[in-house]
Amino acid sequence: MDSLPSVFHYFGQKYTSAIAVTLETTIYATCVLLALLSLEYFLRSQHHLYDIPSPPGASWIWGHEREVWETSAGIAYANWMHQLQINIFKIKGALRKKDILVVADPLAITYIMQKRIYDYQPAHSEVVRPRIARLLGKSLGWVEGESEHRRMRHLVGPALSAEAIKQGAYKVFAASETLELHLEKEIIINDGAAIISVCDWVNQATIDVIGRFGFDHNFEGGKSEDALNILNS
């Protein structure tokens, strides 16, 4: 019986030490986390977008980007512009990445797209470019940089000259007539009252124009097997 208090004393000291170590580790981890958050806040405050307004309600993990992806195209941006009463603002990126500048001012867009186009990196370039490469190859829609665009313009310039477009205009008209016939057929099938997806029809018309104008190939208004394979890839 004399050894029983000794046993309790031993285990008491052991668990007290364990609790002390756990508490010390928790305090240390909390201090490290606070230091990292403070460092991130300082770096963000030094960023050139720091003074630009941002809409409230950003998720700590997903930022504002989740709302952009969960709503129809442009709706989130339009709501934020109405809320902030300004057409240039920033949104928080997902997973704590850098803030994203949103520009809807016509003069600013003209300046960027015409005079300083190669000075600005698209926000989702690292996401979009691999997809473009898989769908369309590493062509005009994939390249970035002034030298690469100059080389691509030299390659496609003859096909997009005024004379070439004039000679191929009838092919565009033929694709438009095919689209019109398909739309009329769709409406007749549905007794004159059809709800259609404009995006699907535009995609079909686009691939039909590209096939006729660029490759002298008839995609049958985007309805052929080849066209459907491309659109569904």
Helix, strand or coil, per DSSP, at residue 88? strand
In this predicted structure, what is the pLDDT of residue 120?
A: 66
User: Strand, coil or helix: what is 167?
Assistant: helix
Say if CB 66 and CB 51 are below 8 A apart.
no
Cα(144)–Cα(119) distance, integer angstroms = 11
**Token pair of 172 as six digits:** 């565009």
pLDDT for position 79: 92
Question: What is the structure's pLDDT at 11?
Answer: 45
pLDDT at residue number 172: 83
Going from the C-alpha of 104 to that of each of 80, 82, 142, 160, the distances in angstroms are 11, 12, 24, 29
pLDDT tens, per residue, the chain with 233 residues: 444 455 444 445 545 555 555 666 777 667 766 666 665 555 555 466 778 899 998 888 888 988 888 888 788 999 999 999 999 999 988 887 788 889 989 898 888 877 777 776 655 566 667 777 777 677 666 777 777 777 877 777 777 778 877 887 888 888 888 888 888 888 888 877 777 778 888 888 888 888 887 777 888 888 888 888 888 87
State how far the Cα of 219 lies from the Cα of 94, in Å rounded to an integer.
Answer: 40
pTM metric for this prediction: 0.46
Residue 176, CB-side half-sphere exposure with 13 Å CA sphere: 5
Cβ–Cβ < 8 Å for 133, 142 = yes
CA distance 154 to 161: 11
pLDDT at 1: 47
Domain extents in the chain: 1-46, 65-156, 158-231
Burial class (CB in 10 A: 0-12, 13-18, 19+), 90: buried
